[in-house]
Amino acid sequence: MPESAQSATPASPVTFPPAFLWGAATSAYQIEGAVREDGRTPSIWDTFSHTPGKTAGGEHGDVAVDHYHRYRDDVALMAELGLNSYRFSVSWPRVQPTGRGPAVQRGLDFYRRLVDELLSAGIKPAVTLYHWDLPQELEDAGGWPERETAHRFAEYAQIVGEALGDRVEHWMTLNEPWCAAFLGYASGVHAPGRTDPAASLRAAHHLNLAHGLGAAALRSVMPARNSVAISLNSSAVRPLSQDAADLAAARKIDDLANGVFHGPLLHGAYPESLFAATEPLTDWGYVLDGDLALINQPLDALGLNYYTPALVSAADPDAAGPRADGHGTSDHSPWPAADDVAFHQTPGDRTEMGWTIDPTGLHELIMRYTREAPGLPLYVTENGAAYDDKPDPDGRVHDPERIAYLHGHLSAVRRALSDGADVRGYYLWSLLDNFEWAYGYGKRFGAVYVDYATLARTPKSSAHWYSRAARTGTLPEPEDS
């Protein structure tokens, strides 16, 4: 039966291709703990989370969920759940303390052991090199607004590529450079907590450059069969109305959310409209000859992290004041040169983050990648929801809302496959409840519940549901679980 006919039959199960990767994702600072072990030095997140007032309740990742010591159990849990891939990040200050100089073997050994454990459990590792934990020394030297940081990243990429490239096929240079640049350097809700919009645009370019230099460094030391990608949190930007002013606002945010990365990565140029919009802040003189070619080198795949769409309009000039941007609250906008734009809550149910549940945004972005990057394999490298999960008296954790969320979003992925997109895998965010950045431990994204007093892990009902999906390659009805 042709795909389209199959998906049109209501009773037929929603099936995925046999080689589809069913994964879960995490990041180093959010789960590892062990921040002072085996030679690791502080990252910007250690400094930021230990600065009063920066995270909810002053929480930090010193212990997190102690994955550094419990990784064997965590891999065993993934195997029990039938996952066939795991996306994790490498902590830069663990393998190259201070961001310069030789590798620390004890730090690399942790990732060697983790990869071996995964491979022997039949789980494909997918490595992200940078999930926001810049060595503090590199921030002290200027951080991402400085070009040198991109060169430092390339050296680090080479170190990790040399250590793991023979056994890890799937690589991502950066996770969500938008957050690193704009939450880190414009709104300041993420480390390093700077509020300098001009610096955030420099940071964005140097993150792009770091991707290009890092990808080249990886390829210089790894087997050619490996796949080098990047994970973007591209945004499904929607105008509040079809009025010219609202369409212009949506266009501006599309440039600042998507064009600033899609442009150089996929098309070899920043959008002219981005230059025009940011002209009061920067002349982009730090984009040097040759940078765009480096950034635009062919990718092997593209990763999309998706949570919720954005709804924007032209701003009401009287409505200034502190604002929540979805990742924290700040008096400073994460959108440089966009004071004339207002953000609105999209209609519909929301998760515990306040993020509206809308799987159509995921379908829309996958189809956009399919158009903008024809022929490139795609992965949903993060998608998931926070809920206020609590164990029942019998110790079980029921999270039907998360099951509905996953069902809705995986159905959107399936629709995109039917519409011709080449999606090869899906990584649920997150394997475990963990340190949710500025929100501390208050927001639980895990398919596996973590009791923060004992660090005991309990798979939630969504983990069992996802396990059935992974094992059968079809989506169980949400009420079946």
Secondary structure E strands in 140-185: 170-175
> Binder to ligand FCB among 55, 175, 235, 330 (CB under 6 A)?
175
Q: Find the shortest distance in angstroms from Cβ 163 to ligand FCB.
A: 23
Closest CA to 127 of 144, 149, 111: 111
Closest CA to 424 of 271, 302, 262: 302
Q: Is 479 a catalytic residue?
A: no
Q: Find the shortest distance in angstroms from Cβ 110 to ligand FCB.
A: 19
Measured CA to CA in angstroms, residue 418 lies from 49, 126, 181 at distances of 44, 25, 35
**How far is C-alpha 332 from the geometric centre of its chain's CA atoms?**
22
Q: Find the shortest distance in angstroms from Cβ 251 to ligand FCB.
A: 23
Peptide bond into 192 cis (omega under 30): yes
Place of tokens 């230990």: 50
Closest CA to 224 of 312, 131, 298: 298
**Between residue 361 and residue 400, which ones bind ligand FCB under the rule CB under 6 A?**
382
Stretch of residues binding ligand FCB (CB under 6 A), selected from 43-51, 173-181, 251-259, 468-476: 173-181
Q: Find the shortest distance in angstroms from Cβ 319 to ligand FCB.
A: 26
Most distant pair of Cα atoms in the chain: their distance: 63
Catalytic residue among 32, 117, 382, 436: 382
Q: Is 146 a catalytic residue?
A: no
Stretch of residues binding ligand FCB (CB under 6 A), selected from 172-180, 237-245, 311-319, 401-409: 172-180
Peptide bond into 430 cis (omega under 30): yes
> Binder to ligand FCB among 49, 91, 200, 233 (CB under 6 A)?
233
Complex with ligand FCB: residue 133 or 146, whichever CB lies closer: 133
The residues with which 314 forms a beta bridge, in sequence order, are: 341
Say if CB 179 and CB 327 are below 8 A apart. yes
Binding track over 305-344 against ligand FCB, x by CB under 6 A: x---------------------------------------
* Six-digit token string for 73: 């159990």
Q: Taking CB under 6 A as the rule, does residue 429 contact ligand FCB?
A: yes
Active site residues: 176, 382
Q: Which residues bind ligand FCB (CB under 6 A)?
A: 27, 30, 175-176, 179, 233, 305, 382, 429, 436-437, 445
